[in-house]
Amino acid sequence: MNKSNMKMSEGKFEMSEEYDFTSGVRARFYEPKKISTSIRLDDDVVMFFKRKASEEKIGYQTLMNSALREAMQNRTRSE
């Protein structure tokens, strides 16, 4: 923000009514660390991870990701 867009009153800055974003770049600094994907898994596998995740108070997808990463690292070490 430049100073012309900001008003100062009582030592606090107030937002202007309008800002010009025509030269803005969308998602300029966004770097996704994860990708969204759709896979089909057996019911018992999903239920296992959901149950385990509930016990550990974490998300089941986070738990699945950890299990897959561990399997991947174990496989890489053994090769």
For residue range 22-74, list pLDDT tens digits in order.
888 888 887 768 888 999 999 999 999 999 999 999 999 999 999 999 999 99
Which amino acid is present at 35? I
**Helix (H) or strand (E) segment spanning residue 7:** strand 7-9
Closest alpha carbon to 41 in 53, 50, 30: 50
CA-based radius of gyration for the chain: 24
Entry pTM: 0.56
**Helix (H) or strand (E) segment spanning residue 48:** helix 43-56
Separation between Cα atoms, residue 64 and residue 71, nearest integer Å? 11
Contact partners, residue 46, CB within 8 Å, separation at least 6: 60
